[in-house]
Amino acid sequence: MALNLHFLRRSCAGSLMLLLSSFAAFAQSSITSNLPIVVINTNGGVIENDNKIAATFKITAPNGSGIHSFDINSGSNVFQFESNIGIEIRGNTSIYWDKKSYSVEIRDVGGSSVDASLLGMPAESDWVLNACYGDKSFIRDVFAHEMYTRTGRYSPRTRYVEVFKNEIGGMSYHGVYILMEKVKRNSNRINIKKLAETDTDAAKITGGYLLQVGEDEDMKWTSGYAGNNAPSQPHPFFHVEYPKLHNYTNISVRDLQFNYIKGRIDNFEQVLAGPDFKNETTGYRPLLDEDAMIDYLLLQEITKNSDNWRASTFFYKQRDDEGGQIVMGAPWDFDKSMGNQQWCYELSVLPTGSWAWQFNIYCTDRPPMTVFWPARLLTDCYFKNRLIMRYQQLRQTQWSNASVSTFIDQRLAELTAQNAMQRNFTKWNILETAVMFNEHYTLPGNTYAKEVQYLKTWLLDHLAWMDSNISSISSENCGVLPVTFREIELREVEQSAVRVSWSTSEEVRNDYFEVERSADARHFQPLGKVKGKGDTSSEQHYDFLDTAPLPGTAYYRIRQVDTDGTVSFSTMKPITRAGNEAAVLFPNPAGEQVVLKNVTPGSVIMIRDNAGRVVQRTTSAGKQAQVPTGMLRPGSYVLTVTNPGGKVEIQKHLTVDR
């Protein structure tokens, strides 16, 4: 066979490719995988762009060893999930690639959307199958969402799957996909209040709204301000993603809600661009969730995402009775990041030399333009210093080199354990094909292992560059940071007090700390002062006891005051006291164990990995349960507590990080 193939390669390349393609299709008609297998059947329909067609959707069930299998020609395949769906092609540039991404809507037999939990992810009707055609590592999106989740914020959950699809010409293998949550308003996704076409009440229409930068769809308006460093280019625009105003039949209500949110965003931009934008009470701070903006901006920087601030940029507005602030997120779309696509300047793919927020500086005529928000905020030393301190904190913990490397190694192992990537690149032979233009990695002789190594090396090099240059993320000269905060910890003490602990790695002219507390994450009240060490380069530890804590969830932060009166703040951290929630989980991230309080005795506690496999199961004997996590690999999990009556009391993301 080898001699025949050699002869065919030399004399009849076209016939050889046909033979190899037929062989690959045959070989992949029956597979076993450590990844769940999704089977889509359109019953002869052709999947269209922007118009969902009816189909069926199944996910295989694992055997006792956690292995999935599917055989096109077998009638004995076992599935853990089966449903009707609506499916359409999704994407912008990606719709022209051979391997398509899809939007999937779970439907009932009557064709109406219905919520469903897929692979341990919270129930919802709308899902995405990301083809990852442009990102040959299959890790960039998953990595970005995981790193943002580790900041304590919501980011779409992801699961790797392999896909079979019956569209034209029968059932065939279509490769590895990322099954992921769509950015959407939901109590388990973007948790903002629901808005309906009947809502005209002045209080209700203050939120919640989910908006997007740069998406050219209905119900949009143009910003009154030019994009950063692009005064002669068309201004950025904003689109209302939720509520679905374009579906309203009552035009007066549609216009009422649209004009409200447009007015609020316009006002925010006017304040941010105004001369007093740095003012603590009349500037941008009461209008913007600063901590969320900092975490969001830093995620775009560690990934050097060239799409953000100009497209795929989501933010939302809460109701005024919930704080009413603008909150960045959830993050989305990272295939053109982490050194993967060279734009109109070489630095866009190099791990050194430029910041993601500076895109317009180098691409002055590449629409759409970035909003001016990050550039303006970084001229405020209050914001810039808090961002630097947050970055240093994350680099010592959730974003450390060890955490980054371990996560990538785990994904590599997951994707190669049962040859999933080998099957994918047999189907889509593009490892030596330039999908994204990038002159900084070699295509001839490229392998999947090289793709992952390129990503890993790029990230570590970029983080090292950021470590050395974070104080120069903008040209604003803010002097030496008075205090470098490390992690803040909150711990309930016998359900009657909360101990606030924090540490610093360096202090310059530090006079004192003031512990502040809030019930809404916006309005903070001082609780008491703790004297600082003045000047020191050694690690210092501090404690404060809140003896009259708030019921429910409370937010704490540390206000630091310099000897000359200069003020800076730590990051904000929440705590929910036991007895105020169905079940309380701590610590998170976990090390050797997690503790659950106020659990119904007899509840089943399950921990699932990214593939949806149950890796830990126990039953609570009392109201408090200790669940060991020491045997679990560092990474992302979902912990579910189901009471004896079958009701889910808690379902939360759990990070194991040692």
CA pair distance 16, 4, nearest whole angstrom = 10
CB contact at 8 A, 310 and 184: no
CB contact at 8 A, 91 and 101: yes
Phi, psi of 13 (to 5 degrees): -60, -40
The pLDDT of residue 563 is 87
CATH superfamily of domain region 584-656: Immunoglobulins (2.60.40.10)
CB contact at 8 A, 657 and 633: no
The pLDDT of residue 623 is 83
The pLDDT of residue 625 is 86
The pLDDT of residue 5 is 34
The pLDDT of residue 481 is 67
- Residue 476 is given by DSSP the state -
Architecture of the CATH domain 483-576? Sandwich (2.60)
The pLDDT of residue 365 is 82
The pLDDT of residue 259 is 97
Average pLDDT, 10 consecutive residues per value, the chain (658 residues): 35 39 56 98 92 97 96 96 98 89 97 96 97 97 96 95 91 97 95 95 95 88 93 94 96 97 98 96 95 97 95 95 94 96 93 95 89 97 91 89 95 97 97 94 94 97 96 89 78 85 87 88 84 88 91 83 81 71 68 82 83 80 85 80 76 74
Angle separating helix axes 448-469 and 401-416, nearest 10 degrees? 170
Task: For CATH 2.60.40.10, list the domain ranges present in the chain.
Answer: 483-576, 584-656
Strand order in the sheet with 237-242: 220-222, 237-242, 209-213, 313-317, 326-328
Identify the helix (H) or strand (E) that includes residue 462: helix 448-469
The pLDDT of residue 520 is 65
What pTM was computed for the model? 0.78
- Which residues are CB-contacts of 285 (< 8 A; sequence separation ≥ 6)? 279
Query: Do you find a cis peptide bond into 444, omega within 30 degrees of 0?
Result: no
Angle separating helix axes 401-416 and 420-427, nearest 10 degrees? 70
The pLDDT of residue 656 is 81
The pLDDT of residue 610 is 64
CA pair distance 556, 573, nearest whole angstrom = 5
The pLDDT of residue 521 is 64
